[in-house]
Chains A and B, each alone.
Chain A
Amino acid sequence: MRRFSAFAIAREAFRNHEGWGRTWAKRPPGKRYDVVIVGAGGHGLATAYYLGKNYGITNVAILEKGWLGGGNTGRNTTIIRSNYLQDPSAALYEKARSLYETLSQDLNYNVMFSPRGVIMLAQTHHEVRGYKRTVHANALQGVTTEWIGPQRVKELCPIMNIDGPRYPVLGGLWQARGGTARHDAVAWGYARACTDMGMDIIQKCEVTGVRTEGGRVAGVDTTQGAIDCDKLGIVVAGHSSVLAEKAGFRLPLESVALQALVSEPIKPCMDVVVMANTVHGYMSQSDKGEMVVGGGTDGFVNYTQRGSFHHIEETLRALVETFPMISRLRMLRQWGGIVDVTGDRSPILSKTPVKGVFVNCGWGTGGFKAIPGSGFAMAELMAKGYSPLTAEFGMERFREGRFIDESVAAGVAH
C-alpha cells in the first residue's frame, strides 16, 4: 500500500498523479478462509480490520452482494455521538467515538472526523428531565456531556429559532466531542487497510446459502461459488433476517425504511449538529455546504430502500419551524436505507445457535456512529469467543428480559 503523506502528494504532483494505485485490490474468491464476513459496509469492514490488527487473523474474506459501502454506510447522515443512557451502550458508543478521534491516523486515510459538537434539543419538559438524567448518567460513565440552557443553544447555533410557537427550545444535551465524519471515507479507509493486510474484498458476491455440519458452520454458497470457512460473521444490517433464515435461525428484528435528504449547497451557516427528537428531525451542514437532513422511519417492514413521502414532509415542516431560514432552500437529493430495528433499540453482537456463526446487527437508525467500536468489539467476540463490550448485547437478552432499553432514553431519532 502506498502511504499518504505530504511527501507522497509532492511526488505525485510531479508525475500527474499516476502513481497512486488502487485503494483496495480486486481478487477472485478463494476456496477457504479462517473467517468470512458477509457485508462490506462500515461494520463488516471494521470487524475484519480489527480481526487482523488486534488478533493477527488475516485469512479473511469480506463478501458484498452490491458494492462496498453502498448500503446504510453510504446512506446515513454521518452523525457521531455517544450520549446514551444505559451503561453498556455508553461503553460501546464511547469506544467508537474515541476510536474515531484517531481513525484517520490509524488508517492513514482521511475520514474527515469533525468533532464539531452535537446538540440534542429539549423541547418539552419531559425531554428536559430525560436529558438531564442522561447528563448525570454520562458523568458516571465517563462520557463528557453537558446540559445547556436555551441561550447557550442560540449562541452555538444562531440560525435556530428558540422561541418557536409550538415547541420552544428549553435547553439541550450538548456533547462537544460529538460531530460528523465522511461516511464513504470510513468504509474506503477500512477497505484499504484490510486489503493491505492481505484480506480479500469480494464485491457483487451474494451469499445464497449457509452450509453447516453437525451444528457448526462449514461455509457459504455464493453467486461466485462455494467458500469454506471456520467462522462466519453476518454483518448485513437490513438483510440480517434474510441471512439468518439461510443459517437456520431467527432474529428479533424488523427491517424498515429510514430516509434522509440534502439541500443545495449554501454558505456556512451552522457548525454544529442539531437533533430535535420531539419534532422528529435532525440537521447538520456538510463540508460542501449542503444541509444534511434526517427524519423518522416508516412503521412497516420494507426492503425497497424507498420510504414514504409523508415522513419527509413531517421532518421538513418541523425543521422549517426550528430553522426559519431554510424555508426556501431547495432539496437536491433524497434516499432511503433499510435499517434493522430491535425491540429495545439496541444492537445485537452475539453468538448464534449455529456454532461459528456470529451476528452484528440491530443497529437500527444509528449504526454509523458505532462503526469503529462495533468492529473492535465484534472482532474480539469472534477471535476470543467473549468481549466485555458485547457481553450485554447477546441475542438471548430478549428471552431473558435483560433489555438495554434505549428507546425510552432516546425517544425516536438516533
Chain B
Amino acid sequence: MSLSEIKLNVEAVVKEINIIDRKIKIRLMELGLNVGTKILVKNRSVMKRTMLVVFNSSCFTLKENLARNILVNYA
C-alpha cells in the first residue's frame, strides 16, 4: 500500500524505503526516517502531490512520488 492511499491521522509504520535518488534517501534517513519508523500523514494538498508527514516528533513536507516509495503498514 502506498502512503498516498492511507487515511489522514492514522499511524503507519515504514516497511521499506525504496527511493532511487540516494541523496534524498540518505537525507530522509538522517532526519530520522527508517524501516520501522512510525509515521503519520497529517495533511494532503489539493493535488495530493505534496503531503505533511510526521516522524521523529517533527513534521515534514514530502512529495507524493517519494511517499509512494516508502511502503507502510498500518500500526
A-B interaction: no
